[in-house]
Amino acid sequence: MTRTPRLAIGMPVRNGERYLRQALDAHLRQTFGDFQIVIGDNASTDATPEICLEFARSDERIVYHRHAVNLGAAGNFNAVFRMSTAELFKWSADDDVLLPGYLERCVELLDRDRRLSHAHCYTGEIDADGNRLGNQEDLLGLVDESPSRRLQASFRLVYPGSVWAVMRSAAVARTRLHGPYLGSDWNFIAEMLLQGGLGLVPEYLFFVRNHPGAFSSPANQGGTSKAQRLQWFSPGRRMPAFMSPAQSLYFFVEAVLKHPLPPRERLRCLRYIAARMGGKAARRLHLSGAPSGAAG
Spatial contact of 47 and 17, defined as CB atoms under 8 Å apart? yes
Cα(213)–Cα(220) distance, integer angstroms: 8
50-64 per-position pLDDT tens digit: 999 999 999 999 999
Q: Which regions of the chain are under pLDDT 70?
A: 1, 213-224, 227, 230, 232-233, 237-242, 280-296
pLDDT computed for residue 105 by the predictor? 98
pLDDT computed for residue 237 by the predictor? 66
pLDDT computed for residue 220 by the predictor? 46
pLDDT computed for residue 140 by the predictor? 93
Query: pTM for this one?
Result: 0.89
Spatial contact of 190 and 117, defined as CB atoms under 8 Å apart? no
Cα(119)–Cα(48) distance, integer angstroms: 29
pLDDT computed for residue 245 by the predictor? 87
Spatial contact of 35 and 8, defined as CB atoms under 8 Å apart? yes
Residue ranges in 16-162 assigned as alpha helix (H): 20-28, 48-58, 72-82, 102-112, 147-154
Domains of the chain, CATH where assigned: 7-218 (3.90.550.10)
pLDDT computed for residue 214 by the predictor? 63
